[in-house]
Structure 1
Amino acid sequence: MWITGKVVERIDWNSKLFSLKIDAELAPFIAGQFIKLSEIHDGKRVARAYSLVNPPQSRYLEVLAVEVEEGQLSPVLQSLKVGDDIEVSATAAGFMVLNEIPSDELQGKHLWFLATGTAVGPFISMMETDEPWQRFEKVVLVYGVRAVEDLAYLEQLKSLQTKYPDQFKLILSVTRETYAGAISSRIPQAIVSGELEQLAGIEFSSQDSQVMICGNPDMVKDAQQYLFDKGLKKNLRRAPGNITVEKYW
């Protein structure tokens, strides 16, 4: 089922990367879930999934997207202006959510978010709720991009550091240029080298860690394997573990 949403704000982070705030009557959702946006093209509906950046309590929906020149939908989204309409799925979906990870003695003390590019969106949604801060002693976001201009929501993330100074650690990875305070390693290599653990001040462990990974499929695959090598296990409903993943395209 589709509903009509209206763009109420847009943010252009760079020439390709942008956010849209949309006014639409979406059914209640869980932080970390995604919606679909769509348009009718040549008589057929073209739909794509976009994770919600906003927490459930927000007035407006918000998505972070990047224009893909050969894409069927993203150039349309890139062209949207305030006041334009866009079709939105009536309900959100997805299992990259905190209530899918263990909440008993298997939970552990530390929550790691590993994200590349626009996949930081669902983690921002989660961190703008109370749940991660109430459940975990430490929350670490590792946010990887190629260039500094790709760092969306940086001020919002810094404000979370100010709000939760003893709980939250933000680690930025910028791989194609130098940025003060950021590492230059790709996320999987920073796992192997121990760089992430050193910067976070905590270790990846099967006893204490929950790790949620979202982004580039190669990053997801490699990071997951290196965490397996450290003794962590994939989190499944039938067999709770430590690693929850979502490929972002």
Structure 2
Amino acid sequence: METAVRAPATIPDHAAFQTVAVRWVKHWNEHLFSFAVERPESFRFRSGEFVMIGLPGDGGKPLMRAYSVASPAWAEELEFLSIKVEDGPLTSRLQLIEVGDQLYLGKKPTGTLVCDALLGGKRLFMLSTGTGLAPFLSLARDPEVYQRFEQVVAVHSVRRVSDLAYHDELTAQLADDPLVADEAKAQFHYIPTVTREPFRNQGRIDALIADGRLFHPPLEGPAHLDPENDRVMLCGSTDMIRQTAAMLEGLGFVEGSNANPGSFVIERAFVG
């Protein structure tokens, strides 16, 4: 097992990546933390995309991992949500960062969890497990999403109640958000569910879909997923994505991409 070593406050420049300073860090529990870095003026992305984040590795070579941006495309900083892996090559050090420390940031964000990869519809379901919530935090705070969909539903499945990062903000329907507070109050719905501890919603996402709990009021519309009017985004564990994608295809949903928009999307860069 590796011993966690704090990331250096400064890191050497690297031609392939930008160097950015950490603005804040928040530890949700012993397994989960969020952090934000400054946003370079040249950095442009679409809400829902991911980018490479890293630190110098052995021999000074950058050690990079893909992270979904949790802040919306209009934000002045770049926010991320990460797990803590005690012996992880990157996260064992990344979890120890402090304000002012420097990280490597990739120059080319990309991804398919974006509005451009979906056809128009009435309801948008963003189904996530664990840190898969991150791209949906970005999308839920983007005004374009509320212009394209009548209802925006963020579902977050975790093992323990303390893993429900951003629970209070999402429960409040993004009331403090400067751009979408009014729209979110009318259109945004947050459904957290816990699998291993008592909570108001218990069970995996597939169970909530099967027994109809996912569609309870105040959500409007049919008590099932409708390929004609519903659009679905998936992010999280490989098992959840593969099982839910197979279920959606069985219902008549078609996977979309940036080149060919469809009725559901996954981030294949993460699941293969």
Give the TM-score normalised by the residue count of structure 2.
Answer: 0.83
Residue 194 (structure 2) aligns with = 174
Alignment of 1:112-131 (within 5 A): 112-131=125-144
Residue 230 of structure 2 aligns with which residue?
209
Alignment equivalent of 1:85, drawn from 96, 102, 119: 102
- Give me the whole-angstrom Cα distance separating, in 2, the residues matched to 1:153 and 1:113: 15
Map 1:214-233 → 2, pairs under 5 A? 214-233=235-254
Deviations 1:137-183 (A, max 9, x none): 1111111111011011112212326543331211111111112x3x2
Q: Distance in 2 between matches of 1:77 and 1:161?
A: 28
Q: In structure 1, which of residues 4, 7, 22 is the aligned counterpart of residue 37 of structure 2?
A: 22
Question: Any idea what the Cα deviations from partners look like across 1:98-137, whole Å, max 9, x if unmatched?
Answer: 11212xxxx2211110011111111110111101111111
Quote the Cα distance in structure 2 between the aligned partners of 1:124 and 1:236: 20
Opposite residue 27 of structure 1, the aligned amino acid is F
C-alpha distance in 2 between matches for 1:238 and 1:158: 34
* Structure 2 Cα separation of the partners of residues 5 and 238 of structure 1: 31
Q: CA RMSD in A?
A: 1.8
Change (3 A) 1:125 1:42: same
Q: Does 1:242 align with 2:263?
A: yes
- Normalising by structure 1, what TM-score? 0.90
1:76 maps to 93
Alignment partner of 1:165 is 2:185: yes
Residue 116 of structure 2 contacts residue 258 of structure 2 at CA under 8 Å; is this kept in 1?
Answer: no
Higher strand share: 1
Query: How many percent identity over aligned positions?
Result: 33
| Aligned-residue offset at 1:67 | 1.1
1:87 shift after superposition: 1.1
Q: Which moved more, 1:51-60 or 1:230-239?
A: 230-239
Give the length in aligned residue pairs.
Answer: 243
2:70 maps to 1:53: yes
1:15 Cα offset (Å): 1.4
Distance between the aligned counterparts of 1:226 and 1:10, measured in 2? 37
Partner residue, 2:216: 198
Aligned equivalent of 1:138: 151
> Which runs of no fewer than 5 residues in structure 2 stay unpaired?
1-15, 176-180
**One-letter amino acid of the counterpart of residue 134, structure 1:** Q
CA distance in 2, matches of 1:76, 1:86: 11
Amino acid in structure 1 at the alignment position of 2:33: F
Letter in 2 for 1:23: E
